[in-house]
Amino acid sequence: MAEIRPAEELLSALRRPGWRARRTPRAVGETGMVPDDLQSAAREHGLLFGPDPSTHSRCTIGGMIGNKACGSHSVAWGRTSDNVLELEVLTYQGTVLTAGEMTGAQIRTAVDAAS
* Domain spans in the chain, listed from the N-terminal domain onward: 3-114
pLDDT at 21: 45
pLDDT at 108 over 80: yes
pLDDT top residue among 115 and 57: 57
Read off the pLDDT of residues 22-79 as tens digits, 9 standing for 90 and up. Answer: 456 667 777 788 888 888 877 877 778 888 899 999 998 888 988 888 888 888 888 8
β-sheet bridge partners, residue 88: 98
For residues 107 and 115, what is the distance between their CA atoms, to the nearest angstrom? 12
Q: At residue 21, what is the residue type? A: A
The CATH number assigned to the domain with range 3-114 reads 3.30.465.10
Q: Is the pLDDT of residue 109 over 70?
A: yes
Residue in 33, 70, 32, 78 with CA at minimum distance from that of residue 52: 70
